[in-house]
């Protein structure tokens, strides 16, 4: 039943331009990263030892800026069709409660978001190779950063699925997404303790390379903080969706 | 005939506000059960409780003899098709894609879906986006989605709401065909005329209470038709009677409502005593609509 319901969510994506939104996400993050990187002085000689670092650093700029708002769009499109199509009741009469439908939607969208997150990193690595970066790819740093971004993306996706389901007016969710993008983009400048206090701040905590006093440095990302966010997000999402099922009018 | 749906003192309160009181529904298997009541009388709430979508505040529901509970809901719903309030359907998908969602979710065969679509006569519109459907087509798609699982019980909440006369006739014919195939249909409406002749059993709800439950004939028998008194001076007769009776002028007669035979004799005696010529006394025709209006107090209809 669950598998078939997830398959149905993919079928519903037709005509919702989910692929286009996911494509925009990839294009924005990879494209913006690449643009920032190639104009950086540290990338002046792509064949240099440390040429992967400006690429990583520019991702830390582009990803927080573009992701939150596009995640909000994805969640909103997939959830709003249930409000408009009488889908909550339809699912309920087939034995799928509203909370479960939210979890199913998260599973389907989560696949899309995870794939997009992986793809944006791979695209950037591909671009780096094409531009002549000769040094070996720092696999650990890239994989760590990509995984951390995926976790933060999924937590925000879950949040937006809940908001879009709970609040009929989709402008609320989209507004939250825009606010999130602003918060995420400014979080790199905040002290880490402050970035820990809201989910958008965790993009900053995952940053693997950044400029400090004008110099490019590799950082030790706080993977355990991101993992904790993921665990807390999963627990809260399960709790909230269980409450949706309890909340019978 | 056993009852496929029974409820015992079923009630629903929202916070402290009662919406449905002590409902004892009896829906015989194989009938078309017309569930009538003005807007806000609790029809949708009752139907949602029958489907386990809203938790009753008290009372018990049995479907096919089995209690409807959280634990049995999934299984019982497998045998119930339903359409509650607005018809479902994803506007950005075609009718066929919508049907396929239902098919995949419930693991239905192609034949079941094709039969459901043919039953509602939607087979020629399946490749259109649901967004472009008329209200009548949306209702039929909703019914096809409900029918695809080949339910024993079909619960339809105001399926004729907002349809034009041809659309209403189409739904009526559909309900009759379904009943002919042995499906029990519970159908609600706030307009008696929309399901009057289709329903074999009626349940009439007013202010959350069941005011009547039985056949049309039983409903007719329940309240006596108006008494019409023909007299050369109906205005004077009316002025004499209006103090003690529910009287109104009706052409060249006076129409008195709610009189039994004794009260009729009293009214006639009163007129004769006052020197009014009485040319004729007869029982008028009553439409089912009048009976329905009497029962529900005419409010909101
Ligand atoms: N979720 C709810 N919360 C509070 N009151 C409700 C809710 N749903 C319905 N009601 C109230 O219950 C009454 C019956 O509503 P409903 O069952 O929709 O009537 P009908 O379908 O006969 O028009 C109405 O007064 C309505 O305002
Ligand atoms: Mg209603």
Q: How far is A111 from chain B (nearest CA, A)?
A: 20
Torsion of CA A133, A139, A144, A150, to 10 degrees: 70
Site to probe by mutation for ligand 1, drawn from B10, B15, B17, B19 as the one with most ligand atoms within 8 Å of Cβ, is: B19
The structural domain count of chain A equals 1
Give the single-character DSSP code of B196.
T
pLDDT digits (tens, 9 = 90+) for A85-97: 999 999 999 989 9
pLDDT above 90 covers what percent of chain B? 61
pLDDT digits (tens, 9 = 90+) for B34-58: 999 989 999 999 999 999 999 999 9
Asked if A92 reaches chain B (Cβ–Cβ under 8 Å), the answer is yes
Rounded to whole angstroms, how far apart are CA atoms B33 and B52? Answer: 19
Q: How confident is the model at residue B300 (pLDDT cuts 50, 70, 90)?
A: very low
pLDDT at A206 over 70: yes
Rounded to whole angstroms, how far apart are CA atoms B231 and B250? Answer: 11
**In this complex, which of A15, A90, A249 lies closest to B145 when CB atoms are compared?**
A90
| pTM listed for this prediction | 0.86
**pLDDT for the residue B301:** 38
- Asked if B74 lies within 8 A of A5 by C-beta distance, the reply is no
Give the single-character DSSP code of B68.
-
Q: Which atom of ligand 1 is nearest to the CA of B41?
A: 22
By the 8 A CB rule, do B54 and A248 touch?
Answer: yes
Query: What b/e readout covers B245-259, taking b as 16+ CB neighbours within 10 angstroms?
Result: bebeeeeebbbbbeb
pLDDT digits (tens, 9 = 90+) for A99-158: 999 999 999 999 999 999 999 999 999 999 998 888 899 999 999 999 999 999 999 999
Of A113, A96, A200, A175, whose CA–CA distance to A150 is shortest?
Answer: A113
Rounded to whole angstroms, how far apart are CA atoms A151 and A143? Answer: 12
Cβ within 8 Å of B, A 7-46: 7-8, 11-12, 14-16
Q: What is the ipTM of this complex?
A: 0.91
pLDDT at B295 over 90: no
- Asked if B85 lies within 8 A of A94 by C-beta distance, the reply is no
pLDDT at A249 over 70: no
**pLDDT for the residue A248:** 64
pLDDT at B285 over 60: yes
Q: Helix, strand, or coil here: B164?
A: coil
**Residue A107 is part of which domain span?**
2-248
pLDDT digits (tens, 9 = 90+) for B200-235: 999 999 889 999 999 888 887 776 778 899 999 899
Q: Region B263-280: what's the mean pLDDT? A: 90
Q: Region B264-274: what's the mean pLDDT? A: 90
Element (H, E) at B209: strand B209-214
Residues contacting ligand 1 via CB (< 6 Å): A 249; B 14, 19, 37, 39-45
Radius of gyration of chain B (CA): 24
- According to DSSP, the residues that pair with B35 across neighbouring strands are B188, B203
pLDDT at A165 over 50: yes
Rounded to whole angstroms, how far apart are CA atoms A60 and B58? Answer: 57
Q: How far is B89 from chain A (nearest CA, A)?
A: 5
């Amino acid at each position: 039943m669950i598998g078939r319901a997830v398959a149905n969510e993919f079928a519903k994506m037709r005509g919702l331009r989910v692929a286009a939104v996911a494509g925009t996400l990839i294009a924005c993050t990879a494209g913006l990263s690449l643009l920032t990187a190639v104009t950086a002085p540290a990338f002046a000689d792509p064949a240099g030892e440390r040429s992967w670092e400006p690429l990583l650093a520019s991702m830390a700029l582009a990803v927080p800026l573009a992701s939150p708002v596009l995640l909000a769009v994805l969640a909103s499109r997939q959830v709003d069709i249930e409000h408009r199509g009488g889908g909550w009741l339809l699912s309920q009469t087939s034995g799928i409660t509203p909370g479960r439908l939210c979890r199913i939607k998260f599973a389907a969208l989560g696949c899309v978001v995870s794939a997009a997150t992986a793809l944006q990193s791979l695209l950037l690595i591909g671009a780096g190779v094409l531009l002549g970066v000769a040094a070996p790819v720092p696999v650990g740093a890239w994989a760590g950063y990509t995984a951390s971004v995926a976790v933060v993306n999924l937590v925000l996706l879950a949040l937006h699925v809940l908001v879009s389901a709970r609040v009929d007016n989709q402008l609320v969710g989209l507004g939250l997404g825009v606010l999130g993008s602003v918060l995420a983009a400014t979080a790199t400048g905040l002290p880490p303790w402050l970035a820990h206090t809201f989910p958008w701040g965790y993009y900053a905590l995952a940053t693997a390379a950044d400029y400090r006093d004008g110099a490019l440095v590799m950082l030790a990302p706080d993977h355990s903080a991101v993992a904790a966010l993921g665990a807390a997000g999963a627990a809260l999402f399960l709790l909230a969706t269980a409450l949706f099922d309890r909340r019978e009018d | 005939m056993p009852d496929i749906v029974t409820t015992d003192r079923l009630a629903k309160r929202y916070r402290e506000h009662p919406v449905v009181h002590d409902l004892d529904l009896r829906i015989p298997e194989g009938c078309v059960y017309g569930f009538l009541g003005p807007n806000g009388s609790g029809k949708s709430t009752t139907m949602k409780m029958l489907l386990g979508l809203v938790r009753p505040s008290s009372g018990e529901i049995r479907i096919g003899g089995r209690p409807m509970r959280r634990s049995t809901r999934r299984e019982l719903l497998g045998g119930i098709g339903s359409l509650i309030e607005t018809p479902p359907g994803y506007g950005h998908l075609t009718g066929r894609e919508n049907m396929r969602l239902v098919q995949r979710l419930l693991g239905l065969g192609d034949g079941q879906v094709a039969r459901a679509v043919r039953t509602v006569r939607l087979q020629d519109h399946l490749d259109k986006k649901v967004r472009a459907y008329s209200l009548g087509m949306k209702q039929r798609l909703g019914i096809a989605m409900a029918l695809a699982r080949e339910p024993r019980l079909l619960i339809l909440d105001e399926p004729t709401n907002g349809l034009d006369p041809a659309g209403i006739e189409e739904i009526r014919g559909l309900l009759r065909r379904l009943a002919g195939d042995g499906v029990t249909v519970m159908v609600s409406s706030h307009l008696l005329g929309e399901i009057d002749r289709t329903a074999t059993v009626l349940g009439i709800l007013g202010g959350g209470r069941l005011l009547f439950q039985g056949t049309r004939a039983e409903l007719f028998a329940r309240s006596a038709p108006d008494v019409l008194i023909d007299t050369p001076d109906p205005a004077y007769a009316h002025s004499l009677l209006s103090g003690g009776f529910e009287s109104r002028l009706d052409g060249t007669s006076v129409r008195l409502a709610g009189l039994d035979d004794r009260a009729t004799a009293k009214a006639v005696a009163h007129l004769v005593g006052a020197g009014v010529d009485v040319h004729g006394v007869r029982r008028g025709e009553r439409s089912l609509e009048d009976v329905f209006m009497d029962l529900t107090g005419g409010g909101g209809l």
